[in-house]
Amino acid sequence: MKKLSYYLKQHIPGYLFAILSMVIAVSLDLLTPQVTRHIVDDVLVGGQMGKLKYLLLAILLIGIGRCIFQYTKEFTFDKISSTIATDMRRDLFAHIQSLSADFFDKTSTGELMARVKDDIDRIWNALGYVGMLMMEVAFHVTVILFCMYSLNWKLAILPTLCMIFCAVLAILMENRLGTIYEEISEENAKLNTVAEENLAGVRTVKAFAREKFEIKKFLSHNNRYYELNMTQSRVFVRYSPYFSLIGKLLPLLVLLIGGYLFLQGELTLGALSAFVQYSTNIVWPMEMLGWLSNDFSSAVGSYRKIRKVYDQKPSIQEPEEPIVLPEVTGDIRFEHVSFHKEDQHEILHDIHFHVEAGKTIGIMGATGSGKTSLIQLLCRLYDATGGTIYLDNVDIRKLSLRQLRSCISTVMQDVFLFSDTIQENVMLGQKGNLNISDVRLASRDAQASEFIDRLSEQYDTVIGERGVGLSGGQKQRISIARALAKHTPVLVLDDSTSALDMETEYAIQQTLTRLPHTTKLIIAHRISAVRHADEIIVLENGHIAERGTHEELLALHGLYYQTWQAQFGMMPDQKEVTDYGC
């Protein structure tokens, strides 16, 4: 993780300029009481009217200078903090992208959204406006106390004691707020998760008439978030009045005690006027201490949350010296592969098969038998816990992740389409290397061009989030077109034709036969999708229960045969009228 100091070091010159502007602005602001002192002592009391025009001109110049440096100070702080927040958000998002699939198995989307957006925003606030004010308050108070002690050390003791008291209160409040902000950040992540899930699945919610239940679930988290914020407010309100009370009493006490010292001859009238102005000027830092502590505590809590994300390391590591194959042919071999996730039962056990380059293997099995896990292991979304997977006779753990994943086109069971045009979705795997002709060809091979051409904008049609507005079959065909457009030596179809009619599935099967140099792994529940594969394996409870060609498996009268009977309702030697007429 790049520490906060790393980002701050990148902007040291800018921060120095901003701090210099702040110092000049505050110094000019605190010169005004000194000018007032001279007007009272020299002009009003001393009768030196000739000095008045110069003193009034000084007030004017001080005001102009303060405006200029206040602007440069605030603009510079805002620009730097915005830049740092942008860099931090970029690096955090890049780190999240680098994490392995097991991290996302146990981390909700809402939590990550809260880290990337809300928590970075709080740090942005701390590095900008809040940080600027904290430095300004510190310098402001230091200069005022110096000026006060220069005028009369006895009277200056009073504001010093007040500032010490306010500082103690601010520390106490910050300690109380630290824990509360941790809880608020956690609940904010949960609230985001519930909202994101319900908005993404709103059609499912409506289909099952679950609106009231989901609203109740959302309200439970919303109420908890409200209660935590009210707890924060109660802490803030408990301490905040003390800051305000001291701020209001201090000028009055200074006037009373200063008046007594004036009567005793220890303080001039002009010095007393300046002292009263200084005491008024020191009020706003006291009142700001509570609010600044509040926001600063929030930023500290957010930074801790972000560090927890950075503490997560990818379990799938890039090899230190990866092997780069000059050309990938697509020869795939699983040797005694086993796999289980953390704290879970074994998903795959002793899987062994070999697919030569350009050949096709069909993978069947009941739901939960481990079919999709095979693909996840091949793409190194997870690493096998036993055995070895080879691509072109090289252990895939020795290959670069980029080459491994770029040579495999995958059509996943859970189709994901981005909220973008159809053209951009099809070009996803090869952006910059494809043109509209390639997109049209891939769509035609995937039997998607028929419905795309009927759309008003055709390939420039923007589809909704996750493909909302398209049918399941249409989404699958666009996903298949995306895989075909990538032109990789390995093609994986994970139950990718389940939502298609038999005729469309047959047409896509014909497309696959026109890819003789592409190794194809076809996962399916339909026998029609795998029956022409060079080899078919049937998984049961994570191990290979049967293997062979279509005819060999039917002859076994085992699981494959039972699936055949369930799907076709006839003996294998009967006429297969449903097999596309062939």
Residue 316 lies inside a defined structural domain of this protein: no
356 and 449 together in one domain: no
- 511-527 per-position pLDDT tens digit: 878 888 888 888 888 88
Residue 322 lies inside a defined structural domain of this protein: no
**Nearest-angstrom CA–CA distance, 36 and 252:** 19
261 and 366 together in one domain: no
Query: What is the token pair recorded at 137?
Result: 């308050």
306 and 333 together in one domain: no
For residue 286, what pLDDT band results from cuts at 50, 70 and 90? low
Instruction: Tell whether the model's pLDDT for residue 580 goes beyond 60.
Output: no
178 and 122 together in one domain: yes
CB contact at 8 A, 294 and 239: no
pLDDT above 90: percentage of residues in the chain = 0
Pairing relationship of beta strands 332-340 and 490-494 according to DSSP bridges: unpaired
Helix (H, G, I), strand (E, B) or coil at 435: coil
- 390-427 per-position pLDDT tens digit: 888 888 888 888 888 888 888 887 777 777 777 877 77
Q: Tell me which of 37-46, 344-353, 385-394, 571-580 is least confident.
A: 571-580
H/E run at residue 492: strand 490-494
213 and 135 together in one domain: yes
Q: What is residue 577's predicted lDDT score, i.e. its pLDDT?
A: 42
Q: What is residue 576's predicted lDDT score, i.e. its pLDDT?
A: 47
- 305-353 per-position pLDDT tens digit: 888 888 888 888 888 888 888 888 888 889 888 888 776 777 888 888 8
**Nearest-angstrom CA–CA distance, 499 and 302:** 44
Average pLDDT over residues 74-84: 85
Q: What is residue 581's predicted lDDT score, i.e. its pLDDT?
A: 37
450 and 497 together in one domain: no
**Nearest-angstrom CA–CA distance, 445 and 508:** 7
Q: Within the chain, how many helices (H) and strands (E) appear?
A: 22, 10
> How many whole angstroms from its chain centre is CA 563?
44
228 and 125 together in one domain: yes
Q: Mean of the per-residue pLDDT values for the chain?
A: 79
Closest-CA residue to 527 (of 484, 481, 488, 578) = 578
Q: What is residue 283's predicted lDDT score, i.e. its pLDDT?
A: 66
Q: What is residue 387's predicted lDDT score, i.e. its pLDDT?
A: 87
Instruction: Tell whether the model's pLDDT for residue 140 goes beyond 50.
Output: yes
Instruction: Tell whether the model's pLDDT for residue 270 goes beyond 70.
Output: yes
Whole domain around residue 182: which residue ranges? 4-310
Q: Tell me which of 107-121, 252-266, 415-429, 535-549 is least confident.
A: 415-429
154 and 202 together in one domain: yes
Q: What is residue 579's predicted lDDT score, i.e. its pLDDT?
A: 44
Average pLDDT over residues 188-207: 70
Residue 578 lies inside a defined structural domain of this protein: no
pLDDT above 70: percentage of residues in the chain = 88
Average pLDDT over residues 377-387: 86
244 and 389 together in one domain: no
Average pLDDT over residues 359-388: 85
The CATH number given to whatever domain includes residue 390 is 3.40.50.300
CB contact at 8 A, 455 and 397: no
Residue 566 lies inside a defined structural domain of this protein: no
303 and 380 together in one domain: no
80 and 206 together in one domain: yes
For residue 582, what pLDDT band results from cuts at 50, 70 and 90? very low
Count of structural domains, the chain: 3
